[in-house]
Structure 1
Amino acid sequence: MGASSSTANPSPEAHEQREQETLASAALALPLLRAAFTRTAADAGALPDALAPPRASFRLPGSPPPPHFHDLLARLGPAIASLFSADGAAAGDAGWVPFLRGFNRCCARVSASRSLALLLRVYAAACDATGAPCGVQFQPDEGGDEDGKVVGELAPEEIAAFLWMCWVMTWSGSAPKASGDGGDKSEEPVVVLLPDVTHLVLSALVSAGAVADDDGIWGWKIPSGGKGVKVQEFTSWMLSTASGLGNCLSRYVQDRFRSLVADPAEQESSVSTVNTTFDTSDVYLLTRGRAWAIALSLRNKLSEKFLSASVIGMDTEDLLYRSAIHGKGLSRFWSGVEGYNGPMLILLSAFSKGGVENVDSNRRWVIGVLTEEGFESKDTFYGSSGFLCAAHPIFHMLPPSGKEKNFVYSHLHPQIRVYEAHPKPVGLAFGGTVGNERIFLDEDFSKVVVRHHAVDKTYQHGSLIPNQGYLPVEASVLDVEVWGLGGGATRRQQDMYKKRENIFSEQRRKVDLKTFGNWEDSPEKMMMDMMADPNRVRREDR
């Protein structure tokens, strides 16, 4: 009886341990967590070191790193480790249950706003330890929230530093054992180029009303400073535009613990990959910064594809078409995308006003379209889902509205020409209706027309380019890119489709003379004779 009573009524400590283990196992396997706990429990400084990012030299293309940035990253590990004892545990308490509490505090599934507040707390703690400027403050919450209320104001430089810190946390998952990290300190750290986040900073400033004039967007740079953004407004922007930042801290802690208990041989094999792939420049329209912004805004499986692209860049084998390489025009475009039955990203660079002076002043913009399926030659709209994207100079995604399904329109000239009283436009279009499209790219890929969102019920409202207004904007196209996102299997299926089409084309080109009848009886000879002597009288043979 006593044994059954003890089993039915466990002690409060055992009950708490069971709850914490159940909660933690949803994020990471318990054997891995026990191994990480064993390696960090012996030394007080082991946990901050384990949660520190890999040692690297971060810089921007052609410019030094942001001030205090390397010092901020050096304090990132201790700032996160402080969360493991934020529940009031004693300083020397290194038990299994307090470790689980700290892990669940960082990695348990909670609301997005709470995750973002915790991420801002880590950023504020790291800035405070290094003396870097930070406008984030925490006030006690009357509702009993242990994290407190987030208040303050963030300058544009602070927003950029926060975003770069989050990107480094993402990067560390692909570089678990970079050169010099935990090894020979005499080795030079790997050089890593930070992505451009100007479009994200501008998006936050415009969303909060700090930049109200569209003309102020052109040529705007982060060091130029300007009006700051309240933390509450910045959090609202993250929830609406970059919701993927809410998973940043959880993914980072899990990646660091996986790296801590990983096989050293596997870690050493990744060093060469880190040194050869991360020191890259952006040469395509799909830059690493734009790929990261798209990854943060998506909530489907494609987010992982763009997240990887933001770290190491897109695989060039996924580039289906680029007008600068393959040539402009709908036929060239079609030869690259035909037969690809998977999601694709189309990026288009253009400038609104004619004249070389607008190109020289860098007043060009980039918009994108994310499709869920391949292209078909139709004279009507089709598709099941899609996104519109303003990528430069400001970023925001426009998901489907759910009211209409005019996602994609791709119409080529028919192979057999017939008379049409009302011919359908030839080109690519997205949203709107035929003749009144949200985005329309002409057959030659020389002109694009962008209309106001009032004409479109397929995609959500929002401007795609600065100074768009209510009238249609006609722009000159500079470059067009198409990236395939379906993976290797989809690309192999496209290759098989192209091979079949090439075989059929070769068969149609071959002429078998044996299949032709006598030339004297052929209608071709009769037509030739009539053209030679049209006045000659011919009697029909009966």
Structure 2
Amino acid sequence: MGASSSKEQTISSEQREVETLAASTGALPMLQKSFSKLADPQSNTIPLQSLKQCFSLNYKDPIFEVPAIHDNFMGVLDHLGSSLVDLFFVPEKGGVSWVEFVKAYVKCCGRISASTSLNTLLRLFHMTMDKAGFSSKLEFESDDADCKISGSLLPIDVLMLLCMCWTMQWNFRSLKFFKRQEKLCLPDFSHLVLSSVISCDEVGSGFNVWKCDISSLDFNLPVGKFLTWTMKTVPSIVDCFTEFFHAKLQISGTLEDKLVPSSSSSCYTSETKACDTVLLTLGRAWAISLTLKGVVSEEILKTCFPCEDDGTDENLLYRSSLQGRGLNRFWSNVEGYHGPLLFLISAISQDHHEESTNARKWIIGALMQQGFENKDLFYGNSGNLYTLNPVFNVFSPSGKEKNFVYSHSHPTGRVYEPHPKPVGIAFGGTIGNERIFIDDDFATVTVRHHAIDKTYQPGSLIPYQGYLPVEAMISEVEVWGLGGRTANKVQASYKKREELFTEQRRKVDLKTFASWEDSPEKMMMDMVSNPDRVQREDR
């Protein structure tokens, strides 16, 4: 076993190789501890049943926002742990040896390419679906991790895959922060499924994204196109599996603390209290997090999953329906925040597709890496544009221009401007020809065709957008701070300092105006009553 300290023990080249690979990820000490806890002292191997119990997911009565998959998905979830063990752990006599145990970890969580990780995830999904009794049209050329995959997926398969990845991430984050399985909540991922359908299949002009039932869609999505869509739109989805695999083995080192599902849904209630009111719902927040890495992704995930510090309310810096509309109210809430920000807009426009005049609601957003500044020109170093409803898409920087953000308010003084700059907030394009422009009253938003924008990647921000500008009525604006506690503290200090300055400016020094003869009021009255009177100046 790898945990042995005997110098006389002969270590095979195979064991030395896999231990080196595991050590490169920093997980070797954790694996040694986990193996010693799970292994049978007699045979020095891990029984398969122990591993299956380690990776099992037992949830009862989950909260579903996803339509029409409750019974099917729970059946799939029951077979996830056994499928994972059967697929990646090779048993020997009595169970899984140390070498095979480390091999399985390297195969799933080692330093491998993103495409290989995605293949591994799809292989696990295929076997789990098969064990649960659902047919899958995926075909694998061989047992190699990077083998060629053929076949196709149905939209309901994509939904199942998304729900499986969400559940794995929900599970390991619950264990990480609470050492127990919090009650499972499954958000609505229709926007992600529709994104894959539109990207992978020719849906035709008659396809209505606002009125469609995901479970009844009969499109065959070629797996090659689906892989391309995944790597482009939600590349971080593979981390859901790798982090779950790592966390389950890590927590197995403390098996004396029996893990049981939480009987309370209080965590879900606190985390999703405003789910029906805010624009950044669980499903939309998770979709955005799958496009990112690092600190910003972690801050967004705090609005999705159970965590020790519920900073959801602190992260919501501005909401037009609460703080009021317009740039002035906007500035008073976001000024002084120096960190990544997520700007969301919900709007309603008229659908002129096929002579229809129905009102359509859509949500778009922009992620910027720094705080807002009052400037009459574009600024910023990086950012993304998002469509969040009814279809999810991400438009990353193109690298051609850097017109990421424009936020200009009225000047404080009455200064004549021969060529005044637009007053409002914009993303992409050029001044006067912005890709997204929000007026200073936050009443209307104008969205233009991507041809005028060289900052962000091309693509329609609104279904059936066309070439002409689309002007829509804004129903809600939200700004979420994603800079963590440091950015919140800096903004709190800034606001406190501004309040102090304002209070000081309001105070009047009564000693200066103690005498009526010296008061400015008397001087003004004298000038009005006799403007020709010569005032002698004291020198």
In structure 2, the partner of 1:51 is 55
Q: Write the distance in 2 (CA, Å) between the matches of 1:477 and 1:242.
A: 28
In structure 2, the partner of 1:351 is 348
Q: Write the distance in 1 (CA, Å) between the matches of 2:510 and 2:178.
A: 69
Cα distance, 1:362–1:22 mapped onto 2, change above 3 Å: farther
Letter in 1 for 2:297: S
Q: Write the distance in 2 (CA, Å) between the matches of 1:448 and 1:84.
A: 51
Cα distance, 1:148–1:371 mapped onto 2, change above 3 Å: closer
In structure 1, the partner of 2:15 is 17
User: Quick one: which of 393, 402, 407 aligns to 1:410?
Assistant: 407
Q: Write the distance in 2 (CA, Å) between the matches of 1:91 and 1:157.
A: 40
In structure 1, the partner of 2:159 is 160
Letter in 2 for 1:234: F
Letter in 2 for 1:153: S
List per-residue Cα deviations over 1:42-68 (Å, max 9, x = no partner).
Answer: 333111111122534334139665332
Contact 2:319 2:479 in 1 (8 A): yes
Q: Post-superposition shift, 1:214?
A: 7.5
RMSD: 3.1
Q: Write the distance in 2 (CA, Å) between the matches of 1:486 and 1:103.
A: 33
Q: Write the distance in 2 (CA, Å) between the matches of 1:263 and 1:399.
A: 43
Identical aligned residues as a percent: 45
List per-residue Cα deviations over 1:301-351 (Å, max 9, x = no partner).
Answer: 312222343224861111101011111111111111011111111111001
In structure 1, the partner of 2:303 is 309
In structure 2, the partner of 1:108 is 110
Contact 2:434 2:448 in 1 (8 A): yes
Q: Post-superposition shift, 1:136?
A: 1.7
In structure 2, the partner of 1:506 is 503
In structure 2, the partner of 1:234 is 226
Partner SS state of residue 25, structure 1? helix
Q: Write the distance in 1 (CA, Å) between the matches of 2:478 and 2:421.
A: 25
Cα distance, 1:98–1:541 mapped onto 2, change above 3 Å: closer
In structure 1, the partner of 2:32 is 34
In structure 1, the partner of 2:44 is none
In structure 2, the partner of 1:4 is none
Cα distance, 1:91–1:214 mapped onto 2, change above 3 Å: farther
Cα distance, 1:394–1:378 mapped onto 2, change above 3 Å: same
Q: Post-superposition shift, 1:228?
A: 2.0
Partner SS state of residue 140, structure 2? strand
Letter in 2 for 1:167: W
For structure 1, which segment, 90-99 or 409-418, has the greater mean C-alpha deviation from structure 2 after superposition?
Answer: 90-99
In the superposition, the TM-score normalised over structure 1's length comes to 0.87
Indicate whether 1:173 and 2:167 are aligned: no
Letter in 2 for 1:115: S
In structure 2, the partner of 1:74 is 78
Cα distance, 1:324–1:275 mapped onto 2, change above 3 Å: same
Partner SS state of residue 152, structure 1? strand
Indicate whether 1:497 and 2:494 are aligned: yes
List per-residue Cα deviations over 1:190-233 (Å, max 9, x = no partner).
Answer: 64220111111011011113434385111223123231201111
Indicate whether 1:369 and 2:371 are aligned: no
Indicate whether 1:223 and 2:215 are aligned: yes
Contact 1:340 1:493 in 2 (8 A): yes
For structure 1, which segment, 470-479 or 48-57, has the greater mean C-alpha deviation from structure 2 after superposition?
Answer: 48-57
Q: Write the distance in 1 (CA, Å) between the matches of 2:392 and 2:66.
A: 23
Contact 1:53 1:73 in 2 (8 A): yes
User: Quick one: which of 484, 499, 506 aligns to 1:487?
Assistant: 484
Indicate whether 1:122 and 2:124 are aligned: yes
In structure 2, the partner of 1:257 is 249
Q: Post-superposition shift, 1:503?
A: 0.9
In structure 2, the partner of 1:275 is 265
Cα distance, 1:180–1:362 mapped onto 2, change above 3 Å: farther
Partner SS state of residue 457, structure 2? coil
Q: Post-superposition shift, 1:114?
A: 1.3
Cα distance, 1:203–1:319 mapped onto 2, change above 3 Å: same
Contact 1:85 1:91 in 2 (8 A): no
Indicate whether 1:205 and 2:204 are aligned: no
List per-residue Cα deviations over 1:12-54 (Å, max 9, x = no partner).
Answer: x622111101111233532321232234333331111111225
Cα distance, 1:171–1:526 mapped onto 2, change above 3 Å: same
Q: Write the distance in 1 (CA, Å) between the matches of 2:283 and 2:474.
A: 22
Cα distance, 1:420–1:275 mapped onto 2, change above 3 Å: same
Letter in 2 for 1:95: S
Q: Post-superposition shift, 1:81?
A: 0.6
Letter in 2 for 1:445: F
In structure 2, the partner of 1:192 is 184
Structure 2 residues without counterparts, runs of 5 or longer: 1-6, 41-46
Contact 1:133 1:158 in 2 (8 A): no
User: Quick one: which of 229, 237, 240 aligns to 1:248?
Assistant: 240
Cα distance, 1:252–1:537 mapped onto 2, change above 3 Å: closer
Q: Write the distance in 1 (CA, Å) between the matches of 2:194 and 2:359.
A: 16
